[in-house]
Amino acid sequence: MQQALDYQFADPALLAQALTHRSAEGANNERLEFLGDSVLNFVIAAEVFRLRDGAQEGELSRLRATLVNKSSLAKLARELGLGGHIRLGSGELKSGGRRRDSILADALEAIFGAVYLDAGFARCRELILALYAGRLADLPSVGELKDPKTRLQEYLQSLRLPLPEYRVLDVTGRAHDQTFRVVCAIDELNAASEGAAGSRRQAEQQAAEALLETLEQERGRG
């Protein structure tokens, strides 16, 4: 893990704690996650502020949100191979906890908190910016910052097409770790796409994005 991060801990116990989920025995990573989340948000906020000179507060907030969210953090954690290093209790192991976005994202934030405690803010900032270098170099445009539901609605309105309907197909999982499966449908066009996520809102956004992509492809072929 240290090799993937390109960082050597002076106190390896901090890394061990950052990689320990609350379902496992020993000191878990929840406190480190809290700290790392705060450091990460500040570092990314400061960087998008620097990179987008003149951008308004709303645009800056949306830019930060695209970089610092559960899905983005989990993707970065997978790129680092983080899942294989997380210590989980037997229940989480059996249920595939190493692949779960929330567990991966929390562990990565905990690592940031551990690096902050181990070497200070400057070194932690350096690590975060190195990991986010590609994403920061390819920040989305103002139009791309609009969420998928908004973009789908504007697309349909521009073509004078009916607006979509969102329906929850099912909800699975335990109360604290549910998965919502949602369909975004335009019955008049016989078009529909599904999304699944840890909240209804996120599932709706996924479904909207999938449907927008389908409609744009079909229009391009037409």
Shared domain check, 127 and 175: no
As beta bridge partners, residue 20 has 87
Task: Look up the CATH number of the domain holding residue 48.
Answer: 1.10.1520.10
Q: Which of 139, 170, 197 is the last residue of a domain?
A: 139
Number of domains making up the chain: 2
Q: Cite the annotated binding site for Mg(2+) by residue number.
A: 33, 106, 109
* Residue 213 annotated among the catalytic residues of the structure: no
Shared domain check, 126 and 45: yes
pLDDT, tens digit, for every residue of 53-90? 988 888 898 899 889 988 899 999 999 999 999 999 99
Shared domain check, 17 and 127: yes
* Residue 37 annotated among the catalytic residues of the structure: yes
Q: Is 122 helix (H, G, I), strand (E, B) or coil?
A: helix
Shared domain check, 28 and 97: yes
Q: Which of 139, 167, 195 is the last residue of a domain?
A: 139
Q: Cite the annotated binding site by residue number.
A: 33, 106, 109
Q: What tokens does 221 get? A: 């072929």
Rounded Cα–Cα distance for residues 139 and 169 (Å): 34
Shared domain check, 177 and 101: no
- Identify the domain containing residue 70 by its residue range: 2-139
- List the catalytic residue out of 37, 101, 204, 209: 37
pLDDT, tens digit, for every residue of 21-57? 999 988 999 999 999 999 999 999 999 999 999 888 8
Predicted TM-score (pTM) of this structure: 0.70
- List the catalytic residue out of 92, 101, 109, 209: 109
Q: Cβ neighbours of residue 159 under 8 Å, at least 6 residues apart? A: none
Closest to 146 in 3D by CA, of 63, 52, 25: 63
Closest to 163 in 3D by CA, of 143, 189, 128: 189
Shared domain check, 114 and 12: yes
Shared domain check, 77 and 121: yes
